[in-house]
Homo-oligomer: A and B are copies of this chain.
Amino acid sequence: MPLLVVGSIALDSVHTPTEAREDVLGGSAVYFSYAASYFTGVKLVGVVGEDWPAEHTEMLKGRNVDTQGLEIVKGGETFRWTGKYQSNMNDRDTLEVHLNVLEDFSPTLPEDFRRSPFLFLANGAPSTQMKVLEQMTGPKLVVADTMDLWIEIARDDLEAMLKKVDGLVLNDSEAKKLTEDENLVRAGRKVLEMGPKFVVLKKGEHGAMFFSEHETYVMPAFPTEQVVDPTGAGDSFAGGMMGYLAEKNDFSPSALKEAMAYGTVVASFNVEDFSLEKMKKIERAEVDARFAEYRQMLSF
């Protein structure tokens, strides 16, 4: 089934303890789209500037990503993010953020995008996420991401949005901030009480936790010694997860658990190189092979 994603499209500059890359393809919606494209067709909505390299659009089209919703602002510049990872490759500092065209982004969905049964609202202002939701006609599954910034400056909008979505994906520090609880199990359950039917709490190198009314479980990250660039790990996790759910057209507890595992596996590939480089080198078969390895790893 078609999967719609609305989110940021970026040109990232990434510094790791050993290497750096300038103006490489990034952004939540881009990582999400590529990760989901192993499983299903993706409809992408986002905004870029005139400086946007057309080759990126072509690359996404080649992955069965519908780019009709890609708005190119005349005279505008694409959103840019510069970050530096610490030696543990898990903590990072944002050195520069230039919102550029993202600042006034007000997504308008192409007519046939509005009927997409699966929707992912990548990190963005909760008010913008709501505007997208209002344009949809009867989606089957809506999952949103958020970040600490919105907890700080738009908490009311965020709480209103949480009552409208089926699922929320957020990271551990965000969950602690949102609930003011340092225990991740309690924090996850408190987020659940704020509205979503399920919550996925991402713990970076330590994996992810799932919370629903009847289930609480943890899945570890796939152990990899080759962590080159963690940028986009969370978005590729969400892309793998939502892509699998859309492919199966099923979000039963068992499908959600398999989707969590697929998200874990796709994210584990993504961190093995800068930007989308590693994901570009692999096909669905490699994803399935690592999924089988991961399942075996957790069975005893």
Contact = CB atoms under 8 A, between A and B. Distances in A.
A166 to B, nearest CB: 20
A13 B171 CA distance: 34
A183 B219 contact: no
A206 interface: yes
Contacts of A258: 300
Contact of A185 (B186, B223, B254, B260): B223
A217 B223 contact: yes
Given A182-B87, A184-B205, A203-B206, A300 B223 contact: no
User: Which of the four size classes fits the interface of chain A?
Assistant: 20 to 34
Contacts of A218: 207, 220-221, 223, 297
A90 to B, nearest CB: 9
Nearest to A203: B206
Given A87-B182, A225-B189, A254 B216 contact: no
A84 to B, nearest CB: 15
A133 interface: no
A261 B219 CA distance: 14
A28 to B, nearest CB: 25
A227 B183 contact: yes
Contacts of A257: 300
Given A189-B225, A225-B189, A297 B182 contact: no
A89 B182 contact: yes
A257 B300 CA distance: 6
Contact of A300 (B88, B189, B209, B295): B295
Given A183-B89, A295-B300, A223 B203 contact: no
Q: Which of A216, A219, A300 has the most CB of B within 10 A?
A: A300
Contacts of A285: none
Contacts of A219: 220, 298
Contacts of A182: 87-89
Interface string A213-237: 0001111110111010000000000
Nearest to A215: B297
A220 B218 CA distance: 6
Given A89-B183, A254-B300, A300-B257, A220 B223 contact: no
A183 B300 contact: no
Given A186-B225, A218-B221, 16 more contacts: A89-B183, A184-B205, A185-B223, A185-B224, A189-B225, A206-B207, A207-B220, A209-B223, A216-B223, A217-B223, A217-B298, A218-B297, A220-B220, A258-B300, A295-B300, A298-B300
